[in-house]
């Protein structure tokens, strides 16, 4: 089972990704041990 992130951790990771969008999403997710689909879902929820 994967690690569960709280909302503050998710927000931190989203903001880190947005600061440097030259990195590919898949590379960012791999470096932070997050699935691409989960991270995309977090970003959609963060937008709402």
Number of domains in the chain: 1
Per-residue pLDDT reduced to its tens digit, 3-44: 789 999 999 999 999 998 899 999 999 999 999 999 999 999
Within-domain flag for 41: yes
**Structure confidence at residue 4 (pLDDT):** 86
- What's the domain range around 28? 7-47
Q: What is the 3-state secondary structure (H, E, C) of the chain?
A: CCCCCCHHHHHHHHHHHHHCCCCCHHHHHHHCCCCHHHHHHHHHHHHC
- pTM (predicted TM-score): 0.83
Within-domain flag for 22: yes
Within-domain flag for 1: no
**CA angle, 3 as apex, 26 and 44 as ends, to 5°?**
50
Confidence of residue 2 (pLDDT cuts 50, 70, 90): low
**Structure confidence at residue 3 (pLDDT):** 77
**Structure confidence at residue 1 (pLDDT):** 45
């Amino acid at each position: 089972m994967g690690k569960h992130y709280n909302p503050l951790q998710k927000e931190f990771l989203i903001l880190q990704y947005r600061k440097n969008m030259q990195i590919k999403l898949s590379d960012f997710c791999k470096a932070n041990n997050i699935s691409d689909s989960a991270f995309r879902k977090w970003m959609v929820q963060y937008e709402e």
